[in-house]
Amino acid sequence: MKYFRTTVCALALAAVATTANARDLVMNANTSDPAQKQAMEDLIADFEAAYPDIDVKFNLYDHEAFKVAMRNFLVSDAPDLITWNAGNRMKVFVDLGLLEDVSDVWEAEGLYEKMPAVVGASSVDGKQYGVPYAYYAWGFYYRQDLFDQAGITETPTTWEEFLDVGAKLNAAGITPVTIGTKNLWPAAGWFDFLNLRVNGVDFHAELMDGKVKYTDERVKNVFAKWAELVEADFFVENHPAYSFQEALPFMNQGDAAMYLLAPFIVSMFPEDVRAKVEWFPFPIIDEAVGIYEDAPTDSFHIPVNAKNKDDARLFLAFAAQADNQTKTAGTLDMLPPNVNASVKDDRFAKGGFAQLSKADGIMQFYDRDTDPALAKVGMQGFQEFLQNPDRIDQILERIEAERARIYGPL
């Protein structure tokens, strides 16, 4: 623990100044899935071992229950720490004045240099309001045996190569892509990547912030690319009937070859299928645009109304430490934002880490980067487009009407 004692000495001195009866540290978390729960319990145990005079009270909520309760407890009876998502979901509570500025932790720990990829994800108006503990790369999970069966010898790196892969799979009687859009959000991943690959990160960020009309020609260009895939029969039929889990059997049974999704899909593959699955990043469409990725980020935050902010800052500093991020992200099958951390010895993790390491920038995810009400209307439109691409003008007008309602006319 030598590294920790030397880097957080200023924070530690502040914590020592707290009274002896104020050493309870209350954390409310939405990390209720088994791996998430284990990761938090391990991190808390390691923190308490390093600081035996601090007792962490860990309150665990179901994901949906947490969303409902969060605003209430941030206002009325705030814990000292919460887990939440970076990006727009964080910004909503920053704008309400409910989350603490923790730029001092970033400065004291040198996190601007150690966690460069997620600086923007935790920032509002140049200030930091959280400390990320894990993030993950989206990409294509594909069955190597089905690629072999279709005569595909290399994974696609360009749009033209991707279209060629789809044509070869269809010719072999294999649907190129499985997807379940009953949840809506899987289609949003496609929109994010297409927009980032066609228009770049600055335009994407402006669109997410409501500063660009959805009827803009640049947005229509994104859907023109997407339509190329729909018209080439890339996607499984009747996908609105399937959740993202229910779309997995198409790949497990060898009926579909690829799935654009996040690392949590890996544990859902049967063992025999998992052995045949590999990974590649979303292909480049325009080399001049740059490489930008979706990398949803989970983070710790201190409520403005927290009672024990000193010890909460100690916890943030501890959670940001490279060895702790290695352990936490490994348990989660995710990636550590700290560049000095180690990545799990796993082909999927290593592939995602390599891709994010060379990215020119990252975004969170459609429903984390834009207003929640607009995200819902947008994702409904994406789902409809995948079934009826000829309705694109009506779909974009409907999404634009919602954007104008929320953000105002342009």
**Helical spans, DSSP H, in 321-365:** 322-332, 347-357
Element (H, E) at 228: helix 217-231
pLDDT confidence of residue 135: 92
- What's the number of CA atoms in the CB half-sphere (13 Å) around residue 180? 14
**Residue length of the chain:** 410
- What's the number of CA atoms in the CB half-sphere (13 Å) around residue 244? 17
| Bridge partners (DSSP) listed for residue 303 | 99
Same domain, 248 and 149: yes
pLDDT confidence of residue 120: 86
Same domain, 170 and 245: yes
pLDDT confidence of residue 18: 38
Same domain, 252 and 286: yes
- How far CA 18 is from CA of 15, 49, 102, in Å, comes to 6, 19, 18
pLDDT confidence of residue 237: 95
The ranges of the chain with pLDDT < 70 are 1-22
Query: pLDDT tens across 316-365, in order?
Result: 999 999 999 999 999 988 899 999 999 888 888 888 888 887 888 888 89
Same domain, 11 and 120: yes
Same domain, 280 and 345: no
Same domain, 114 and 165: no
Same domain, 403 and 392: yes
pLDDT confidence of residue 377: 97
**Residue 66 belongs to domain spanning:** 2-136+296-363
Same domain, 111 and 34: yes
How far the first Cα of the chain sits from its last, in Å, is: 54
Among 363, 379, 399, which residue terminates a domain? 363
CB atoms within 10 A of CB 231: 9
With CA atoms as reference, report the closest residue to 327 among 134, 156, 174: 134
The CATH number that applies at residue 60 is: 3.40.190.10
| Residue whose tokens read 């229910």 | 246
Q: How many domains does the chain have?
A: 2
Same domain, 154 and 259: yes
Same domain, 222 and 354: no
Same domain, 273 and 387: yes
In whole angstroms, what is the distance from residue 115 CA to residue 13 CA?
Answer: 24
Q: Label the pairing between strands 55-60 and 256-261.
A: unpaired
Same domain, 288 and 311: no
Query: pLDDT tens across 197-253, in order?
Result: 999 999 999 999 999 999 999 999 999 999 999 999 999 999 999 999 999 999 999
